Chain A
Amino acid sequence: DQQVKQNSPSLSVQEGRISILNCDYTNSMFDYFLWYKKYPAEGPTFLISISSIKDKNEDGRFTVFLNKSAKHLSLHIVPSQPGDSAVYFCARNTPLVFGKGTRLSVIA
């Protein structure tokens, strides 16, 4: 049972434009959704989270939107930078269960 689904394995975006990474979930019993970023040969690092009682959370260039009726969340990165190129995982708690990830490539 894959509780968190990231249906796009990869995404390419031009530098300066918006990157939108999507995530769908099946089980509504959660407290938080979290986004992690992972570079090759490194462990994932926490990026941003959203509580189940909120619709939006913003931190600098990163904004996460939660649509509970559609069981969908998205991560927006504006503006996208080459250093944002990495694999992005969405996860729900508890425990922390991850999607399969989306590889973002930001092209200069």
Chain B
Amino acid sequence: DSGVTQTPKHLITATGQRVTLRCSPRSGDLSVYWYQQSLDQGLQFLIQYYNGEERAKGNILERFSAQQFPDLHSELNLSSLELGDSALYFCASSVDRDRVPIEAFFGQGTRLTVV
């Protein structure tokens, strides 16, 4: 158990819909990362938050957005869903010593299926 909790574990929704994925980081971790894993695409970095503020942005579509709340949990919002958005979405958290992440701990992922 990494200490990172993601909900829900599975999600099936229709094209055009909007969903929210939730992540609770490990106790004490200030950074939260979101990743997308599609077939054969590895782990695509989407976005990072540090203590409530956006720190880095990767290949995140404009239809996607995220935020980190004062209690440090994070949500990833995916809207106008397309079939190609079907993937595993992982959240990770890290403590960031001196603002540098040495390692990150991953949740079990949310499997999103768009039909």
Which residues from 91 to 115 on chain B have a C-beta closer than 8 Å to any C-beta of chain A?
92, 94, 100-109
Closest chain A CB from B94 CB (angstroms): 8
Tell me whether A31 is interfacial, beta carbon within 8 Å: yes
Which residues of B have CB within 8 Å of A101?
A: 42-43
Establish whether residues B100 and A96, one from each chain, have CB atoms under 8 Å apart when the complex forms: no
Tell me whether A97 is interfacial, beta carbon within 8 Å: yes
Q: How far is the CA of A97 from the CA of B41 in the complex (A)?
A: 13
Establish whether residues B106 and A96, one from each chain, have CB atoms under 8 Å apart when the complex forms: no
Tell me whether B4 is interfacial, beta carbon within 8 Å: yes
Cβ contacts A20-36/B at 8 Å (1 or 0 each)? 00000000000110101
Cross-interface CB contact of B45 among A36, A46, A49, A96, cutoff 8 Å: A96
Q: How far is the CA of A97 from the CA of B40 in the complex (A)?
A: 16
Chain B residues with a Cβ closer than 8 Å to the other chain, count: 26
Total CB contacts across the A-B interface at under 8 A: 63
Establish whether residues B2 and A94, one from each chain, have CB atoms under 8 Å apart when the complex forms: no
Q: Which residues of A contact B (CB under 8 A)?
A: 31-32, 34, 36, 41-46, 49, 89, 91, 93-101
5 CB < 8 A contacts A-B: A41-B108, A94-B101, A96-B94, A98-B43, A99-B42
Which residues of A have CB within 8 Å of B33?
A: 95-96
Closest chain A CB from B41 CB (angstroms): 7
Establish whether residues A95 and B102, one from each chain, have CB atoms under 8 Å apart when the complex forms: no
Establish whether residues B104 and A100, one from each chain, have CB atoms under 8 Å apart when the complex forms: no
Which residues of A have CB within 8 Å of B109?
A: 42-43
Q: Given A97-B58, A101-B42, A43 and B106 touching (CB < 8 A)?
A: yes
Cross-interface CB contact of B108 among A42, A49, A89, A97, cutoff 8 Å: A42
Establish whether residues B45 and A43, one from each chain, have CB atoms under 8 Å apart when the complex forms: no
Which residues from 36 to 82 on chain B have a C-beta closer than 8 Å to any C-beta of chain A?
40-43, 45, 48, 55-56, 58
- CB closest chain-B residue, reference A100: B42
Establish whether residues A44 and B90, one from each chain, have CB atoms under 8 Å apart when the complex forms: yes
Establish whether residues A32 and B108, one from each chain, have CB atoms under 8 Å apart when the complex forms: no
